[in-house]
Amino acid sequence: MDLDPSSALVLFSGGQDSTTCLAWALSRYQRVETIGFSYGQRHAVEMEVREPVRRAIAGLSVVWANRLGPDRVVSLDVLGSISKSALTADLPMETRPDGLPVTFVPGRNLVFLTFAAIVAYQRGLKHVVAGVCETDFSGYPDCRDDTVKALQVAINLGMEARLVLETPLMWIDKADTWRLAESMGGHALVDLIVEETHTCYLGDRARRHDWGVGCGACDACRLRANGWSRYRA
């Protein structure tokens, strides 16, 4: 399988991290496509902001607009049906006895990256870009660098391919994620991320803060708000 070395598939959820990754990919590769997954997540509003965010990001730069290719949404409802997590069920947001957040869906990112790799392979896209990060606390073991590297090896062995799993946010914190966005797209991109992206686990689009919309209390909101205040400091 010939993979185009200047192409990428971005795992794009419509949140801050994956939007920053989309800009990162558009800054580097000639041909960039996006993929999203629906799996019965509570914060399904995330899926609704994807297309407006894509349109807005294409509106920031003619170069980016020309590079941005098609989007697809893959249904993984089966993931919601076999896992019990606060991301897919109406459970209280708290920490589990083993220290993992209740939002943990075991293996979710393994599944996402594998499905993305299947699509990338068939589309001839060499790089698969994901906004996973092990610097800020999320506690998701499948977001860790070793996990992603191991999966890259398994995928390439299993598909006889040379796909590259890219994780531009792996070693930076949330304040640096805002700085990275500013370095690529200036304040216009930062403003776009504040206004258009969605991060809140509870899907709250009613409460407006200087860092964007969200409940302000869930883990995702607190990480985003905390990173924003350090970025603006």
Identity of residue 73: V
Q: Does 221 help bind Zn ion (rule: CB under 5 A)? A: yes
Dihedral sign (CA 46, 48, 50, 52): negative
Q: Does 214 help bind Zn ion (rule: CB under 5 A)? A: yes
Cα distances (angstroms) measured from residue 175 to each of 135, 171, 197, 218: 11, 12, 16, 18
Q: Does 215 help bind Zn ion (rule: CB under 5 A)? A: yes
Dihedral sign (CA 87, 90, 96, 99): positive
Nearest distance in Å: CB 214, Zn ion: 4
Q: For residue 143, give every residue at least 6 positions away whose Cβ sits within 8 Å of its Cβ, in sequence order, or none.
A: 109, 132, 133, 134
Q: Does 225 help bind Zn ion (rule: CB under 5 A)? A: no
The enclosing H or E element of 19 equals helix 16-28
Residue with Cβ nearer Zn ion (120 or 200): 200
Residue with Cβ nearer Zn ion (131 or 168): 131
Nearest distance in Å: CB 199, Zn ion: 7
Nearest distance in Å: CB 113, Zn ion: 25
Residue with Cβ nearer Zn ion (169 or 221): 221
Q: Does 86 help bind Zn ion (rule: CB under 5 A)? A: no
Stretch of 32-40, 72-80, 158-166, 221-229 contacting Zn ion, by CB under 5 A:
221-229
Nearest distance in Å: CB 190, Zn ion: 20
Q: Residue 107: exposed, middle, or buried by beta-carbon count in 10 A (0-12, 13-18, 19+)? A: middle
Q: Does 10 help bind Zn ion (rule: CB under 5 A)? A: no
Among candidates 41, 9, 17, which has minimal Cα distance to 197? 17
Q: Does 218 help bind Zn ion (rule: CB under 5 A)? A: yes
Residue 104 φ/ψ, nearest 5 degrees = -70, 120
Other beta carbons within 10 Å of 47: 16
> Hey, which residues between 187 and 206 contact Zn ion (CB under 5 A)?
200, 202
Total residues binding Zn ion (CB under 5 A): 6
Residue with Cβ nearer Zn ion (117 or 215): 215
Which residue bears the tokens 């990338």?
120
Per-residue mark of binding to Zn ion, 56-85 (x: CB under 5 A): ------------------------------
Q: For residue 75, give every residue at least 6 positions away whose Cβ sits within 8 Å of its Cβ, in sequence order, or none.
A: 37, 38, 39
Which residues in this chain contact Zn ion in the complex, by CB under 5 A? 200, 202, 214-215, 218, 221
